[in-house]
Structure 1
Amino acid sequence: MSLLNSLLMVAPILQKAFLFDCMVGVTDREKFLAYHPASDLNLGIKVGDPLRAGSINATAIAENRRVVRKIGKEVYGIPYIAVGYPIVEHGQVVGCLATGVTTDQEDRLRALAENVTDALENIASHTESLAKEANELALASHTLSETAVQMELKITETSQINQLIRDISTRSNVLGLNAVLEAARAGTAGRGFSVVAEEIRRLSQSTSASAKGIFRILDEMNGLVGTVSGELEKTMNHSLQQSTRLQELDVVMQQLRQMAEQLKEAAGSTGRME
């Protein structure tokens, strides 16, 4: 029995013995002698169909070599990869054994891996931008916090000046009161001085009231500055934590990107030509 006839007999068994669901075809030098389609790959070939010029079978026979070729979806509507192996008897090529499996799943995996890679690149870009903004926010918060401290110092200095004004007002009030008493004691001769002394005392009282108002406003400002300083400190800490988390996220993104590349590589490995 010839090798070609033996292959015709075992072709259905070979198809079931393969790990993947694949089609199997056996040809002589001119036409198909057997064709067993896969469940998801049927090219519509019939026994007796002639070999097409440039096909895997025709090339394997003409060049007496194993041919591996990936066929795009545009040819038969199904993407697949096929192998043609020449059958040689007594030094002569008498036919070809062809097998093929669909690459639809691999193509979907490759497309998915590319989409995942693009999404990761996009996320990584936004993550980098967020990390930069978080660092800038932390620096701005630190600057504002230092400014708030300087404001507290200035408020303290202003309070000291205001206290000096109050002291002057108190002394002026005492002096004005003494002057009024002395003017009253002088009688008619001190009447003009009494008017001036009274005005000095009123001005002292007005200054004292203004100083109290300034003290109250400074106390309120000091409280507000303290609140702002505390909130800025919290903001700075949150910004630094966010920056750290974004750096950790970037490491995870790098790992996911490598996994996506490995997935793409694995999906494309079956489609490489020999």
Structure 2
Amino acid sequence: MSQLLNSLLAVAPILQKAFLFDCMVGVTDREKFLAYYPAKGLNLGIKIGDPLRPGSINATAIAENKRVVKKISKEIYGIPYIAVGYPIVENGQVVGCLATGVTTDQEDRLRSLAENLTEALENIAAHTESLAKDADHLAQASHTLSDAASQMEVKIAETTQINKLIRNISTRSNVLGLNAVLEAARAGAAGRGFSVVAEEIRQLSHTTSMSAKDIFRILDEMNALVGTVSAEMEKTLNHSLHQSTRIQELDAVMQELRQMAEQLKKAAVLSGRQE
């Protein structure tokens, strides 16, 4: 047997313990396994004397006389791992291969965690964006309602002025009617017809006065309601602005978490490369 292979067989178990990661180590000649040291989490069930499988990392490294790195999926041995095959060359001839392998469970878990985290953040970001739009629409609606309430207050004030004018006309009509009755009484029989007209004027004045009072009452009630609506709209607007601010802060946190997820993905990739 090759002297170099004999030396490698002697140091193989020491090499396994010297690696930073829990690593399996195998030593082969050109045809079969000469030694195999499984890792705690990676045991392929290889025995000394097992032949090299065509296309395996050992056979490939020997055939091509170069370092070969392969990532083996979980479907083959039930354990995902990365293997490295390094040809052993003595006197210009490839006499065997040193193979090492480490599991990629941690890398896969990190990548899966990062992907799940990214997906969750995307969903949260989508809902946050929807909430932000709703908050903006609510704020715009509050502004519109507040403006409408202000305009209604102006219109009520204008109506109040008109009602005052009606009350003033009613008062003057009542005075004119009373004077007319007095003048009709002085005129005696000749003023009876005029007295009837004067009485109608007074009745009309009284009715107008009562209607004006009802209008004032209704306007006061409407004004009170408008005031309540305005106050509530102001509260709603403040809440909307506050909500919009909180959503913006939440979006900033989402951005930070998204960056952390990306860093986690990169860490998983780097971890795999180091292995």
Aligned counterpart, 1:164: 165
Q: Which residues in structure 2 correspond to 1:254-273 (within 5 Å)?
A: 254-271=255-272
> 1: distance between equivalents of 2:120 and 2:28?
47
**Deviation of residue 251 (structure 1)?**
2.1
- Whether the 8 Å CA contact 1:31–1:51 is kept in 2: the answer is yes
- Whether the 8 Å CA contact 1:70–1:273 is kept in 2: the answer is no
Aligned residues: 274
Q: Secondary structure at the match of 2:54?
A: coil
Query: Does residue 1:238 correspond to 2:244, yes or no?
Result: no
> 1: distance between equivalents of 2:201 and 2:128?
68
> 2: distance between equivalents of 1:105 and 1:206?
92
Aligned partner letter, 2:83: A
Q: Runs of 4 or more off by more than 6 Å in structure 1? A: none
Aligned counterpart, 1:73: 74
Aligned counterpart, 2:248: 247
Aligned counterpart, 2:192: 191
**Structure 1: which 5+ runs fail to align?**
none
Aligned counterpart, 1:122: 123
> 1: distance between equivalents of 2:86 and 2:193?
132
> 1: distance between equivalents of 2:181 and 2:25?
127
**Deviation of residue 266 (structure 1)?**
1.6
> 2: distance between equivalents of 1:265 and 1:113?
9
> 1: distance between equivalents of 2:191 and 2:17?
133
- Which deviates more, 254-263 or 230-239? 230-239
- Whether the 8 Å CA contact 1:82–1:100 is kept in 2: the answer is yes
**Deviation of residue 272 (structure 1)?**
5.1
**Deviation of residue 22 (structure 1)?**
1.5
**Structure 2: which 5+ runs fail to align?**
none
Aligned counterpart, 2:220: 219
CA deviations over 1:188-223 (Å, ceiling 9, x no partner): 222222222112111111111111111111111111
> 2: distance between equivalents of 1:167 and 1:253?
66
CA deviations over 1:122-168 (Å, ceiling 9, x no partner): 21122222222222222222222122111111100000000000011
Query: Does residue 1:86 correspond to 2:48, yes or no?
Result: no
Aligned counterpart, 1:204: 205
**Deviation of residue 76 (structure 1)?**
0.4
TM-score (norm 1): 0.94
Q: Secondary structure at the match of 2:265?
A: helix
Aligned partner letter, 1:201: R
Q: Secondary structure at the match of 2:102?
A: strand
Aligned-residue CA RMSD in angstroms?
A: 1.8
- Whether the 8 Å CA contact 1:70–1:271 is kept in 2: the answer is no
Q: Which residues in structure 2 correspond to 1:131-150 (within 5 Å)?
A: 131-150=132-151
Aligned counterpart, 1:174: 175
